[in-house]
Amino acid sequence: MTALAAGKGWMGRLFGAMLAVLMACTVLLAPCARAEETSQAQTGTQVLEAFDRQQVQRVNQASELSDHKKHLIMFMLAIPLIILLLITGGLGIATGVYGKQLFLAHMVTAGLTITLAVAHVIVGLVWFYPF
């Protein structure tokens, strides 16, 4: 029993020493951890501020399209609009005059044509009509 008691005492002393070292490390390293948290919070704030500045710059750049670019975009919208308009007209003539079974294709292209025409009008009004 004395060997067992001595073993428990030895293990108990080792556990106590490890606990004391752990507590000392916790007490000594706590201010360092707090300082690191503070610097991380400041760094996080700086990152968010930089992100906000970049967002403002992007919004300003996006709203500053030149008239040449606006006209080019309108032209690029008009090309498929004219092509769809010609296809829709051709399908309508083929259906009405020649009796071809192309009514569904005619309606689909007509829907696409109207959608693109409405988008073209909205973009033109927003960019070129002085409100």
Residues 5 and 38 in one domain: yes
Half-sphere exposure of 31 (CA within 13 A, CB side): 3
How does DSSP assign 59-110, residue by residue? HHHHH---HHHHHHHHHHHHHHHHHHHHHHHHHHHHHHTT--S-HHHHHHHH
Residues 25 and 73 in one domain: no
Q: What is the pLDDT of residues 14-56, one digit of tens each?
A: 777 777 776 776 666 666 655 555 555 567 777 777 777 777 7
* DSSP H or E stretch at residue 57: helix 2-63
For the chain, how many structural domains are there in total? 2
Confidence of residue 2 (pLDDT cuts 50, 70, 90): very low
Confidence of residue 1 (pLDDT cuts 50, 70, 90): very low
Residues of the domain holding 1:
1-64
